[in-house]
Amino acid sequence: MIAPLAVVQSEEEAAAAAIEKRPLERYVAPVKPSLVGLSRTALADALGTIGVPERQRRMRVQQIWHWLYVRGVQDFDAMTTLSKELRGSLAEHFTLARPEIVAEQTSVDGTRKWLLRLPGEFADQPHEVECVYIPETDRGTLCISSQVGCTLNCSFCHTGTQRLVRNLTPGEIVGQVVLERDRLNDWQRAAAPAGADPEKRLVSNVVMMGMGEPLYNFEAVRDGLAVVADGDGLSLSKRRITLSTSGVVPNIPRAGAEIGVMLAVSLHAVTDELRDELVPLNRKYPLRDLLDACRNYPGLSNARRITFEYVMLKGINDSLAEARALVRLLKGIPAKINLIPFNPWPGSKFECSDWAQIEKFSEIIFNAGYASPVRTPRGRDILAACGQLKSGTEKLSARERLALRAMAMTD
């Protein structure tokens, strides 16, 4: 009899395992896959599998791309530039499915939240993620997710307490943007030639700040965002796409080189000691390495800054000395600072800083030359604010709500 192999784990491996969760499931592609979210190359390959001759593929990809991402069609029959035969063959082998919507909620401030059902490895156990549209006077932002659950375990984040189920596919990432256009009737606005329609499309910005750590799903995020930024399709400029990371240092230069979108870094603490507790990934990639990676992020300038996010936790990281240390720490990095009021969730051991403290903290940042917008927790009535995805919370008092609105600035 062969003895079972013992699983030997070094101390280092055990420590890493405590910081980074492994996915519980893998993605199982449906028998009839959706074409939404495929890269041009993958789309050409898909056409190859149904017998489209190689010499035609480039043109067909171009045509289908237009139908998918400029016209937003949901039915192969509407692709009238393709032969009837090809449309039939496409319909036989593929779909144009978007993520399934389980619930759609609209907040009093116009924030719209979609609860999406994504297939699980086991057919009877689907999963859910959220996608949120946040309207503002001069822009509309779509907040999208990158994982079901999260690889990491930040102590103030509700998602961090959940298991990592799996990474989203490029199709599921792109699908969130496509779905917004469907639901908010944004295709026509987006397709109108400049000047022809005074009403622009509702979503001008995309932020990857929903569920999950995007830099632990690097390839899918890279490939999905490339489709979102494609100028012949969904056409969101890379300058209007922001990827938020908790500091996966080795993937920051890669993100600069291969994705090229704006970067937001969840800093939350000015010392390693505290950051080790709030963002345990800091034990693996400490502040010095993180800030070096930020300093070297390609293309930084005053017009192209890194956003540093700082969640305001009462009595934990909100002293004025910490505000001053924050300013010193970021010296020399073209930066914006976003102070985020902590959103409590059931069982969380933190409280949001008092409003007066947030104001004082923000004043120090402001006096150091940073516009320091406090991120308004929009859509609280439908629980769509940052870090609150999938969780319940107390409502803000009317006074706090007003104060937050007044402080919210756009850059």
Q: Is 130 a catalytic residue?
A: yes
Residue from 23, 37, 119, 160 binding ligand SF4 (CB under 6 A): 160
**341 lies in the site for ligand SF4, by CB under 6 A:** no
Q: Which among 154, 294, 352, 386 is annotated as catalytic?
A: 386
Residue 225 binds what, of ligand SAH, ligand SF4, none (CB under 5 to 8 Å, by partner type)?
Answer: none
Asked if 327 and 364 touch (Cβ cutoff 8 Å), the reply is yes
**255 lies in the site for ligand SF4, by CB under 6 A:** no
**243 lies in the site for ligand SF4, by CB under 6 A:** no
Residues near ligand SAH (CB under 6 A) = 156-158, 209, 213, 244-246, 266, 309, 311, 340, 342-343, 386-388
**Radius of gyration of the chain, Cα coordinates, nearest whole angstrom:** 22
Least distance in Å: CB of 229 to ligand SAH? 19
Q: Which residue is nearest to ligand SF4 (CB)?
A: 160
Residue from 246, 317, 372, 388 binding ligand SF4 (CB under 6 A): 246
- Extract the tokens encoding 56: 């035609």
The letter for the amino acid at 371 is A
Q: Which among 20, 128, 130, 309 is annotated as catalytic?
A: 130
What is d(CA 150, CA 223) in angstroms, rounded to the nearest whole number?
19
List Cβ neighbours of 262 (8 Å cut-off, separation of 6 or more).
238, 239, 240, 241, 242, 243, 304, 306, 307
List Cβ neighbours of 178 (8 Å cut-off, separation of 6 or more).
36, 68, 69, 72, 98, 234
**154 lies in the site for ligand SF4, by CB under 6 A:** yes
Give backbone dihedrals phi and psi of 390, rounded to 5 degrees, phi first. 70, 15
Least distance in Å: CB of 221 to ligand SAH? 11
Least distance in Å: CB of 298 to ligand SF4? 23
Least distance in Å: CB of 305 to ligand SAH? 16
Judged by CB under 6 A, the number of residues near ligand SF4 is 11
- Is 34 or 391 the residue whose CB approaches ligand SAH more closely? 391
Least distance in Å: CB of 266 to ligand SAH? 4
**23 lies in the site for ligand SF4, by CB under 6 A:** no
Could you give the angle at which helices 40-49 and 54-66 cross, rounded to 10 degrees?
120
- Is 215 or 229 the residue whose CB approaches ligand SF4 more closely? 215
Residue from 213, 223, 309, 322 binding ligand SF4 (CB under 6 A): 213
Residue 167 binds what, of ligand SF4, ligand SAH, none (CB under 5 to 8 Å, by partner type)?
Answer: none
Q: Is 13 a catalytic residue?
A: no
Q: Which residue is nearest to ligand SAH (CB)?
A: 387
What is d(CA 302, CA 299) in angstroms, rounded to the nearest whole number?
10
Least distance in Å: CB of 269 to ligand SAH? 11
Return the range that interacts with ligand SF4 (CB under 6 A); candidates 26-34, 147-155, 182-190, 318-326: 147-155
Instruction: Please report, as ranges, the residues that interact with ligand SF4 according to CB under 6 A.
Output: 150, 152-154, 157, 159-160, 212-213, 246, 266
| Residues annotated as catalytic (active site), given as ranges | 130, 386
